[in-house]
Amino acid sequence: MEKKKQRLLLIFFLVIMIFTSACSSKNSNSVTREMSMDSNPEQTEEKADMGTKDSASSKESEVVTNESKITANAQTNRKLIKRVEMTIETKDFESLLESVNSKVDSLKGYVESSNVSGNSYSFENDSRYASIVIRIPSTELDNFVTSVKEMGNVVNSSESAEDITLQYVDIKSHKNALVVEQERLIAILKDAKKLEDIIKIEERLSDVRYEIESYESQLRTFDNLVDYSTITLNIDEVKHITPVEDETVLQRIKSGLGTTFFDIKTGAQNFVVWFVVNLPYLIFFAIIIGVILLITKKRLKKYRNKNIKSDDKVSNHNTKEEIKKE
């Protein structure tokens, strides 16, 4: 019996020891977990913020993709302001002007400004000059330039292209941001109840609308400059066309003789025109000069007659005295 009791006690102690060891191991595991959690609080915060970071990164990626799309569109649809300046010579001034105006109308362009000076029928100035600023659709610019080169002798031509793509995109993005702000202000204004808040919102809303109109005006100006190219056309009326290539000696002699004969012809014509135009004045001055000469001639004749008579008297007196002396 005693041996049985001893065995039971031994088994009981073994069970207690096993149970206590199991409980201690659980407590140690829980303590280690708590210690690990306390030692790395950033990990828990990172796990808690994983959702927000993922959403933020997704928004940033969307912004980047939108900006890349805008840049790609800007590169493909470049905004270029094209300008052309040409100087052209012609002998038929009126015909060239009519041809230019007709070509502008056919290409659906318009004349922005025109200045014509000189008069081919004037004695002092026998040539005319025109400076015309023309706006042509940019798609028809090459067509117009080619046509003008066929109308006369082009002595000078220059072309330029100004890229305003970045400016245009920047202004448009500012305008879009202001439009979004305007919509937010309108929504806030609807819910505002205090008078002070309403006044502040309306003031800001007025400023935003003014800035939007300013940006829209700049965009319209840029669109007009891009859609319609600017051509400055200088037209000179000349007697002889300026040669494009170097002339030979015979060609220079021929050209020189032609210029000389043309100048003689032009001078004779101008003299005839001047004489006919000023004939009344010439007749008037001729009459005055004739009257003056006639009066002068009569006076000289009288003066001569007086001198002759006085000489005769003196001679007669001298002869009488000589006779008396004898």
pLDDT, average across residues 267-271: 82
| 8-state DSSP, 173 | H
Query: pLDDT tens-digit profile of 27-62?
Result: 444 434 443 434 444 443 343 344 334 433 444 444
**DSSP string computed for 194-217:** SHHHHHHHHHHHHHHHHHHHHHHH
pLDDT, average across residues 281-295: 88
CA–CA separation, 323 vs 200, rounded Å? 138
CA dihedral sign, ordered 5, 8, 14, 19:
negative
Task: Using alpha carbons, select from 248, 78, 76 the residue that is nearest to residue 165.
Answer: 78
Give the per-residue pLDDT at 175. 94
Taking the CB of residue 128, how many other CB atoms lie within 10 A of it?
A: 20
3-state class (DSSP) for residue 157: strand
Confidence bin at 176 (pLDDT 50/70/90):
very high
Of 11-25, 41-55, 238-252, least confident by mean pLDDT is 41-55
Give the per-residue pLDDT at 20. 56
Percent of the chain with pLDDT over 90: 38
